[in-house]
Amino acid sequence: MGMNFGVSPNASNSPDNNGGGGGGIKSTFHDLYVKYVPSQDSACIVELPEGEKALKKKKGGLKLKIKIANPSLRRLFSGAIAGAVSRTAVAPLETIRTHLMVGTSGHSTAEVFQNIMQTDGWKGLFRGNLVNVIRVAPSKAIELFAFDTVNKHLSAKPGEPSKVPIPASLIAGACAGVSSTLCTYPLELVKTRLTIQGDVYNGIVDAFVKIIRQEGPAELFRGLAPSLIGVIPYSATNYFAYDTLRKTYRKVFKQEKIGNIETLLIGSMAGAISSSATFPLEVARKQMQVGALSGRQVYKNVLHALASILEKEGLPGLYKGLGPSCMKLVPAAGISFMCYEACKRILVEKDGEA
């Protein structure tokens, strides 16, 4: 005897449809019908997916939140993560840029890349990256913490007059750059030495020991003056441009929240402006850090370095490596700001805080 699995309103209430012992089956189908088919016009059993509730919960997307009550600690963590991620992403460009500045492996990006690949392979492109991450993570944490702290104290509240005659973000950016540079400069010098003279040292510790023994502790701070002179306008311009571009974006698009892609683009634009304006000082600093290695000239100070480079190579010498430098600094700035803002949304004090 065949069995009909279709259910209709009349059949489910008919006492003589299946007869006798079919009451249990009829009751089962009737329960399914009432549970899953709200409309009397339907004549089929509708089976809902078991994971419907889970899908509904996931409909809004995954929102990871880690609660950290201390706002200073949140900014320090966010800055450290942003620095580590951004620098690792552009490590090969940083290596090429450094070689171009000091002229040890060629005079073009393609030539330097080929020489590094022939001598060291892919590992050569990431040489010194561990030192770079160790340096940049705390440096970026200190930098962003200093910027947020100073900017918060100097910024006037809505409706109040300005506390300082110049933009607060300009002063905060300069303070941020100086603070991070003073704390992490020796690691920057060691990173440069490992990149250029990797065969001379057997790691970070060995580089520190050899530099201190052979050249003295003061050598760890060689080039600090031009570095500070360079970082003040760079950091001030970078943060001022970033803050200004964010405010402009909010006014133009009338949106308080800025997405990750928009933050990436805004940060990249800020990095392009600041790096182009201060690049000659960066070249002088790198030349001074290399010192007398490989028989190179030792410069007395930043002015001596700038004058000597200008005399030997002309104006193009002060901008040698600007292309790969922008290729490295521009995306690094964008990635750094994007990661920082994203981390601030993850590391919150309470729900709904960004």
For the segment 285-320, what is each residue's pLDDT rounded down to a tens digit?
778 777 656 566 778 787 888 888 888 888 888 888
DSSP assignments along 216-252, one per residue:
-GGGGGTTHHHHHHHHHHHHHHHHHHHHHHHHHHHHH
- How far apart are the C-alpha atoms of 91 and 64, rounded to whole Å? 28
In this structure, are residues 347 and 74 in contact, taking their beta carbons and an 8 Å threshold?
Answer: yes
pLDDT at residue 170, as a whole number: 94
pLDDT at residue 139, as a whole number: 85
In this structure, are residues 253 and 299 in contact, taking their beta carbons and an 8 Å threshold?
Answer: no
In this structure, are residues 210 and 201 in contact, taking their beta carbons and an 8 Å threshold?
Answer: yes
- How far apart are the C-alpha atoms of 100 and 96, rounded to whole Å? 6
DSSP assignments along 301-338, one per residue:
SHHHHHHHHHHHH-HHHHTTTHHHHHHHHHHHHHHHHH
Q: What percent of the chain is predicted at pLDDT more than 70?
A: 77
Q: Is the pLDDT of residue 39 over 60?
A: no
The two structure tokens encoding residue 309:
């480079």
pLDDT at residue 7, as a whole number: 43
Q: Is the pLDDT of residue 142 over 60?
A: yes
How close are the terminal C-alpha atoms of the chain, in Å? 67
The arithmetic mean of pLDDT across residues 139-165, rounded, is 88
Out of 30-34, 195-199, 242-246, the most confident range is 242-246
Q: Is the pLDDT of residue 190 over 70?
A: yes
pLDDT averaged over every residue in the chain = 78
- How far apart are the C-alpha atoms of 155 and 243, rounded to whole Å? 12
pLDDT confidence band for 256 (50 / 70 / 90): confident
Contacts (Cβ under 8 Å, ≥6 apart) of 199:
none
pLDDT at residue 25, as a whole number: 53
pLDDT confidence band for 243 (50 / 70 / 90): very high
Picking from 32-36, 113-117, 172-176, 204-208, which range would have the lowest pLDDT averaged per residue? 32-36
The two structure tokens encoding residue 191:
């990173």
pLDDT at residue 26, as a whole number: 52
In this structure, are residues 328 and 100 in contact, taking their beta carbons and an 8 Å threshold?
Answer: no
Find residue 183's DSSP bridge partners.
none
Write out pLDDT tens, residues 65-95.
777 778 888 888 899 999 888 888 888 877 8
More confident call, 240 vs 295: 240
The number of helices, as runs of H, and strands, as runs of E, in the chain is 16, 2
